Structure 1
Amino acid sequence: MQRRELRIILVSLIVSFVLTGTKFTAWFLTHSVAILSDALESIINVVAGAFACYSIYLTSKPKDANHPYGHGKVEFFSIGFEGAMIFIAGCLILFKAGQYFFIPTELIKLDKGMWLIAGTTLANLLLGLFLEREGKRLSSLTISGNGKHIMTDVYSSIGLIAALLIMHFTGWEWIDPAASVLMGVLILKQGYQLMRTSISGLMDETDMRVVDKVIAVLAAHRRARWIDIHNMRVQQYGSNYHIDCHLTLPYYLELSEAHDELKAIEHLVNEAFSSGEVEFFIHTDPCIPSCCHYCQMENCPVRQDEFTGLITWKRENVLPNRKHGE
């Protein structure tokens, strides 16, 4: 899978390099600060693509003694680096736009510039949609982050084309720096969002969508012996996940029987996360008398209380470090 990721990001890098050159050509032709802003953002596409290549290469390396969970965390560094570069580009764009408000430059050959930007926008649209689709399919944060950045470039380029059309037909050259300011603000927002995602991943912030998916899988295949699951924690390492939790089982089960139940859970969840690997660390807890009223075990030889009803598994009782009912 990593080889495919690397090929995809190399395609993105090559295309971004060509499109960046095209945008700078449009700037040289027109002297438009808005086009320059678009070109500056495209430089970040190239830099981020190069860093993403290294990120995917490092992610593909196997676990070792110094990295027992693998190297997947580098993906969060990758999107954080990309977000920081985008944020810096946004600041530079705003600075350059401010200069043009006070020192205006005559615009020329806007029609040729528009055609060049329109061509790069179409190419970026196809590339961005491709990256977002593949990033989702491969569960790759690096490819998804790169795709989101490319799509932001597309949206800003569409706005740029609209501004160039207005300037071409009206002669209102003040729209040039104004459009650049708007693009700079949008770029700053995208950079912040990517940095926020990076920080969340590096700080092991829980992705509740993943938690909900794991709970749904286990609830759908719930066995009578699985009395409750609690203290669940999910960490993401690239496209792989590390999940640990406590599983309450009947205390009289033999070790081999308990092991079979743990392997069943691992198999179910790994099937659900087919695009990545899920590593489970499960701590088994013995049942206690207070578990009897929600335990589904029929003909239990040690039952002390009648079964009163099943407790539905949800975030509120799966994430805390306590048995249900305590």
Structure 2
Amino acid sequence: MLKKELRIILLSLIVSFILTVAKFAGYFLTHSVAILSDALESIINVVAGAFASYSIYLTSKPKDENHPYGHGKVEFFSIGFEGAMIFIAGCLILVKAMQYFFLPPALHSVDQGIWIIAATTVSNLFLGLYLVRSGKRLPSITITGNGQHIMTDVYSSAGLIVALLIIHLTGLTWLDPLVSVIMGVLILRQGYLLMRRSISALMDETDMKVVDKVITILSAHRRKNWIDVHNMRVQQYGNNYHIDCHITLPYYLELSEAHDEMKAVEVLVNKEFSDSEVEFFIHTDPCIPACCHYCQKDDCPVRSFPFSGTITWTRENVLPNRKHF
């Protein structure tokens, strides 16, 4: 899988380099600051592709003594680095656009510039769709993120083509820096979103979608011995997850029986997360008389209180560090 991921990201790198050269050729031909903005954003595709290649290589390395959870978090560094580069490019685009508002250059060969940008846009469209689909199929958040960035480039380039057509047909050259400002703002937003995602992952912000998925899996295959689940925490390392939680079991189970229950949880969740590896660290809590009210073990030999009803597992009672009273 590593070789396939590297081939995909290297293809992205080569194509992005060729398209960047073509866009700069379009800028030198037309002197359009809007085309320059598009070319500057494409530089980020090249830099991000190079960084993504290294992150994919590093992610594939096995766990070791210094990295007991593996090297998957480097992918979030890759996303953050790409976001920072995009943000810087957006700032440069805005500065250049402001200069052109006051000192507008004469535009040349706008029709030829339109054809160049149109060709690069179509090429980027196919590349972006290929990367997004490949990233979801493998799965790889690095490839998916790279594809999503290129698709953003496609949308901005499509808007640029429309603007260049208007300029070419009407002669309203002041639209050139205006379009560049709009593109700069959109690029800044994209950079911010990528950096936000990177920081959230590096700080182990809980992904509620993953929590909900784990809760759904455990609820659907709930065993009578699993009295409650609480203090659940989820950490993501690339495409893999580390989950620790507390599970309340009947206090009289033997150690081997408790181990079998924990192993069943791990096997069950990993079966449903077929594209990822889920590592569990489970702390077992012994039941207490207050648990009898919602314990479903109808053949319990030590029940102190009658069964009142099942408690549905939700975020509200699975995430806090307390039994379900």
Relative to the length of structure 2, the TM-score reads 0.98
1:171-222 deviation line (CA, Å, top 9, x unaligned): 0000110000000000000000000000001100000000001101111111
Q: Distance in 1 between matches of 2:232 and 2:242?
A: 11
Q: Distance in 2 between matches of 1:76 and 1:235?
A: 13
**Residue in 1 aligned with 2:173?**
173
**Residue in 2 aligned with 1:50?**
50
**Residue in 1 aligned with 2:322?**
322
Q: Distance in 1 between matches of 2:319 and 2:248?
A: 14
What is the CA distance between 1:3 and its match in structure 2? 2.5
Q: Distance in 1 between matches of 2:233 and 2:133?
A: 28
**Residue in 2 aligned with 1:218?**
218
Q: Distance in 1 between matches of 2:38 and 2:287?
A: 62
Q: Which runs of 5+ in 2 are unaligned?
A: none
Q: Which is further off, 246-255 or 86-95?
A: 246-255
**Residue in 1 aligned with 2:24?**
24
What is the CA distance between 1:4 and its match in structure 2? 2.2
Q: Which amino acid aligns with 1:323?
A: K
Q: Distance in 1 between matches of 2:18 and 2:7?
A: 17
What is the CA distance between 1:110 and its match in structure 2? 1.0
**Residue in 2 aligned with 1:62?**
62
Q: Which amino acid aligns with 2:147?
A: G
User: Percent identity at matched positions?
Assistant: 77
5 Å-filtered alignment, 1:264-275, equals: 264-275=264-275
Q: CA RMSD in A?
A: 0.9
1:236-267 deviation line (CA, Å, top 9, x unaligned): 00000000000111111111111111111111
Q: Distance in 2 between matches of 1:210 and 1:3?
A: 28
Q: Distance in 1 between matches of 2:219 and 2:259?
A: 19
**Residue in 2 aligned with 1:196?**
196
Q: Distance in 2 between matches of 1:282 and 1:309?
A: 25
**Residue in 1 aligned with 2:91?**
91
Q: How many residues align?
A: 325
Secondary structure of residue in 1 paired with 2:324: coil
**Residue in 2 aligned with 1:105?**
105
Q: Which amino acid aligns with 1:69?
A: Y
What is the CA distance between 1:54 and its match in structure 2? 0.5
1:270-312 deviation line (CA, Å, top 9, x unaligned): 1111111110001111111110010110211000111111000
5 Å-filtered alignment, 1:281-320, equals: 281-320=281-320
Relative to the length of structure 1, the TM-score reads 0.98
